[in-house]
Amino acid sequence: MRKRVAVTGIGCISCFGLGHSSFADALLCGSSGVVPISAFDTSECRSHAAASIRGFDPTAFIPPLKLRKIDAVGRLVLVCARLLLEDGNSRTDSGPRDDTGIALGTFTAGLDSIVEYLAGLTDHGPTGVPALLFSNTVSNAPASLCAIELGLRGPNLTFNQREASSLAAVVFSVGAIRDGRAAAMITGGADRLEETFFKVHDRFRALSPRRRSGRFAATDETARPFDRRRNGFVLGEGGFLIRVEDREAATASGSDIYGEILGVGATASQAAVNGWPDDPTGVVRAMRAALSDANLSTGEISAIFASANGSPEMDRIEAAAIDEVFSGRPVPVTSLKGAIGESGAAGAASLVAGLLALPRGVLVPTVGYDQSDGDCPVSVSGRPRSITGNTFLVNSVASGGTNYCLAVRAKDQVQ
The total of other beta-carbon atoms located within 10 Å of residue 372's CB is 14
Answer yes or no: is 60 within a domain.
yes
Query: What is the model's pLDDT at position 129?
Result: 80
Cα dihedral: 323, 327, 332, 336 (round 10): -30
| 187 shares its domain with 240 | yes
Provide the pLDDT for residue 214: 53
237 with 266, same domain: the answer is no
* Residue 18, domain member (yes or no): yes
Query: For residue 216, what pLDDT is reported?
Result: 47
Q: Does 246 share its domain with 266? A: no
Q: Are residues 36 and 143 in the same domain?
A: yes
Q: Is the pLDDT of residue 328 over 90?
A: no
CB within 8 Å of 302: residues ≥ 6 apart: 331, 332, 358, 387, 388, 389, 390, 391, 392
Nearest 5 degrees, angle CA 401-CA 405-CA 410? Answer: 155
Q: Write down which residue in 223, 253, 283 finishes a domain.
A: 253
% helix / strand / coil in the chain, to the nearest 5? 35, 20, 40
131 with 179, same domain: the answer is: yes
| pLDDT greater than 70 at residue 219 | no
CA pair distance 150, 12, nearest whole angstrom = 17
Residues 70 and 205 in one domain: yes
Q: Which domain does 382 fall in, by range?
A: 262-410
Last residue of some domain: 253, 283, 315?
253
Q: Is residue 378 included in any domain, yes or no? A: yes
**Helix locations, 270-390, DSSP H:** 281-294, 312-325, 337-340, 346-357
pLDDT number for residue 125: 86
Strand partners, 318: none
**415 within domain boundaries:** no
Question: What are the phi and psi torsion angles at 144 (to 5°)?
Answer: -65, -40
Please give the Cα distance from 142 to 53 (Å, whole number). 18
Does residue 353 lie within any of the structural domains? Answer: yes
Average confidence (pLDDT) over 350-360? 98
Domain of residue 313, CATH code: 3.40.47.10
For residue range 38-70, what is the model confidence (pLDDT) as tens digits?
Answer: 999 999 999 999 999 988 999 999 998 888 889
Task: Give me the pLDDT at residue 130, please.
Answer: 78
Give the whole-angstrom CA distance, residue 396 versus residue 167.
7
- Answer for the pair 270, 401: CB distance below 8 angstroms, yes or no: yes
pLDDT-based confidence at 273, cuts 50/70/90? confident
Instruction: Round to whole Å and give the CA distance between 190 and 151.
Output: 20
The tens digit of pLDDT for each residue in 373-399 reads 999 999 999 999 999 999 999 999 999
Residue at which a domain ends, from 253, 275, 297: 253
Check whether residue 204 and residue 295 sit in a common domain.
no
Q: Tell me how far apart the alpha carbons of residues 322 and 318 are, in angstroms, rounded to a whole number.
A: 6
Structure confidence at residue 88 (pLDDT): 59
Q: Are residues 292 and 351 in the same domain?
A: yes
291 and 152 belong to one structural domain: no
Q: How would you class 122 by CB atoms within 10 Å of its CB: exposed for 0-12, middle for 13-18, buried for 19 or more?
A: exposed
Average pLDDT over every residue of 204-217 = 68
Q: Of all helices (H) and strands (E), which one includes residue 402? A: strand 402-410
* pLDDT value for 97: 84
Residue 81 domain-assigned (yes or no): yes
Cis, peptide link before residue 58, omega less than 30° from 0: no
Together in a domain, 406 and 279:
yes
pLDDT in tens, 85-127: 888 544 444 567 889 999 999 999 988 888 888 888 888 888 7
Residue 187 lies in a domain: yes
Sorting pLDDT into bands at 50, 70 and 90, what band is 32?
A: very high
Within a domain: 44: yes
- Where b means 16+ CB within 10 Å and e means fewer, 187-206 reads bbbbbbbbeebbbebbeeeb
**How many domains, the chain?**
2
Give yes or no: residues 189 and 122 share one domain: yes
Are 200 and 57 within one domain?
yes
At 414 the pLDDT is 58
